[in-house]
Amino acid sequence: MINVVLADDHVLVRDGIKSLLEDQEGIHVIDEASDGKEALKVVESSNPDVLIVDIRMPEMNGIEVVAELKKRNKTIKTLVLSMHDSEEYVLNAINAGADGYLLKGSSKEEFMKALHMIASGGKYFTGDISSIIINNMINSGGQHVEAKEKPEATFKLTKREKQILALVLDGKSNKEIAEDLDVSKRTAEVHRFNLMKKLDVKNLIELTKIASKYQLV
């Protein structure tokens, strides 16, 4: 039996998830919470196997809840639910110690796959993020991956590359960048790829370090 606590500030969302989970054999929702602080109290009193937590909640957001919970009880697994598929959100979840990150638009099958994988001690991450970033973060035990040391140099970025860089550093997804620049998602993906290749970085953490070090924005 997988005992679950649900934390989401929307009653309808909690009811929907609860109905979905309890329709499955071997899963039991033992308690619920409507904000971050309540989630920590409920988890402490009920000691579930998995906490399913919304990334945006009053009092404390889902990332803060996960980070605090990992300080108190490292045995409880955490699955973060989010509408956001940007690298920033996923990396923040991983750095906080989340065992999984799932988009709210995911299918029932993916939801159950994620829950079972996490409950059994695995990791499950989804969204518009490269496997390189996930592997780097997990393999480093959730610690930030340091940017590579570079000799002093001037990166000659075009006006468009600077626009892309600023949007990426703001945590924008490829879809959001495409909308902001009025281009196709594919074009945004190409710009982003070319930018990271030009700066010789593999993920958002390295990109942030380089941008800060050389004051690129």
In sequence order, the β-bridge partners of residue 28 are 3
Q: How far apart are CA 91 and CA 132, in angstroms?
A: 12
Helix (H) or strand (E) holding 80: strand 77-82
CATH fold, domain 2-139, is Rossmann fold (3.40.50)
Looking at residue 153, its pLDDT comes to 42
**CATH 1.10.10.10 intervals, the chain:** 159-213
* Mean of pLDDT values over 91-110: 86
The pLDDT of residue 133 is above 70 = no
| CATH for the 159-213 domain, from 2.60.120.620, 1.20.120.1200, 1.10.10.10, 3.30.9.10 | 1.10.10.10
Q: For residue range 48-60, what is the model confidence (pLDDT) as tens digits?
A: 999 999 998 888 8
Q: Which helix (H) or strand (E) holds 27?
A: strand 27-33
The predicted pLDDT at position 155 comes to: 66
